[in-house]
Structure 1
Amino acid sequence: MERQKVDGRKYVVWIKGRDGWRPGKAVDRDRAEALVQRLSGGPWSYRMVPAPRTTVEDLAE
């Protein structure tokens, strides 16, 4: 069964490194989920959040 896109929103995957949280580019949900899959086996902390209204402070919640 093919997955249907629910909305046209963009998402940002934030990655926490040595220098703190850094945002990636705003991409569609499928690309953001693919990045999360690649990151899930590594040592990084990450968050996938809707764009564009996310700040570093929002990630702490």
Structure 2
Amino acid sequence: MKIKTICAWCGELISERYCPETKNYQVLAKNGEMVSHGLCPACRLAIEAKYGLNKNRGSEDV
């Protein structure tokens, strides 16, 4: 069974792995593939910039 992780914002393929099939994989998979969502590095940076997140990353003053 193949598991794909796709960016929830832009649709870019983040990763693709093969995993052992479980007894319930057919319920969760479509055409033998399962899809999960995350954020690609470019969208993560864009979201951080847009909403002002992680401005103090690495700072001990936080």
Q: Same fold (TM over 0.5)?
A: no
| Structure whose alpha-carbon radius of gyration is higher | 2
Calculate the TM-score normalised by the size of structure 1: 0.26
